[in-house]
Chains A and B, each alone.
Chain A
Amino acid sequence: MTEEIIIAGFGGQGVLSMGKILAYSGIMQDQEVSWMPSYGPEMRGGTANVTVILSDNRISSPILFEYDTAIILNQQSMDKFEKSVKVGGTLLYDPNGIIHPPQRKDIKIYKVEAVEEAARMQSAKSFNMIVLGAFLKIKPIVKLENIIKGLKKSLPERHHHLIPMNEKAITRGMEIIEEVK
Chain B
Amino acid sequence: MADYRLMKGNEVIAEAAIRYGCDGYFGYPITPQSEIMETLMLRKPWEETGMVVLQAESEIAAINMVYGGAACGKKVMTSSSSPGISLKQEGITYIAGAELPCLIVNVVRGGPGLGTIQPAQSDYFQAVKGGGHGDYRLIVLAPASVQEMNDFVGLGFDLAFKYRNPVMILSDGVIGQMMEKVQLGEFKPRWTNEQIIKMYGSWATTGKTPDRKHNIITSLELDSSRQEKFNHKLIEKYKVISENEVRFEEIACEDAEYLFIAYGSSSRICQKAIEIARAKGIKVGLLRPITLFPYPTKKIQSMLSKIKGILAVEMSAGQMVEDVRLAVEGKVPVQHFGRLGGMIPTPNEVVHALEEQIIKGK
Q: Looking at chain B, what size class is its interface with the partner chain?
A: 20 to 34
A-B contacts counted at CB < 8 A amount to 68
| Residues of A contacting B44 in the complex (Cβ-Cβ under 8 angstroms) | none
Instruction: Give residues of chain B (171-188) contacting chain A, Cβ–Cβ below 8 Å.
Output: 173-174, 177-181
Task: Please tell me if the beta carbons of A36 and B174 are within 8 angstroms of each other in the complex.
Answer: yes
Instruction: Give residues of chain A (1-60) contacting chain B, Cβ–Cβ below 8 Å.
Output: 20, 23-24, 27, 30, 32-37, 39-41, 59-60
Evaluate whether A35 and B178 lie within 8 angstroms (CB atoms) in the complex, with A23-B6, A27-B4 already known.
yes
Task: Please tell me if the beta carbons of A36 and B178 are within 8 angstroms of each other in the complex.
Answer: yes
Tell me the dominant secondary structure on chain B's binding face: mixed
Task: Please tell me if the beta carbons of A60 and B272 are within 8 angstroms of each other in the complex.
Answer: yes
Return the chain A residue nearest B1 by Cβ.
A30
Tell me the dominant secondary structure on chain A's binding face: mixed
Evaluate whether A63 and B269 lie within 8 angstroms (CB atoms) in the complex, with A27-B181, A36-B177 already known.
yes
Evaluate whether A61 and B6 lie within 8 angstroms (CB atoms) in the complex, with A23-B179, A35-B179, A36-B174 already known.
no
Task: Please tell me if the beta carbons of A20 and B348 are within 8 angstroms of each other in the complex.
Answer: no
Interface-side segment among B13-21, B149-157, B330-338, B339-347? B339-347
Contact residues of A with B, CB < 8 Å?
20, 23-24, 27, 30, 32-37, 39-41, 59-65, 154
* Other 17 A-B pairs with CB < 8 A, given A32-B180, A63-B268, A64-B272: A20-B6, A23-B6, A33-B6, A33-B180, A35-B180, A36-B179, A37-B178, A41-B117, A60-B271, A60-B272, A61-B347, A62-B180, A62-B265, A62-B268, A63-B269, A63-B344, A65-B348
Contact residues of B with A, CB < 8 Å?
1, 4-6, 31-32, 116-118, 173-174, 177-181, 265, 268-269, 271-272, 274-275, 342, 344, 346-348
Q: List 21 A-B contacts (CB under 8 A).
A: A20-B179, A23-B179, A27-B6, A33-B6, A34-B178, A34-B179, A35-B6, A36-B174, A36-B178, A40-B118, A59-B180, A60-B268, A60-B275, A60-B347, A61-B269, A61-B347, A62-B178, A62-B268, A63-B265, A63-B344, A65-B348
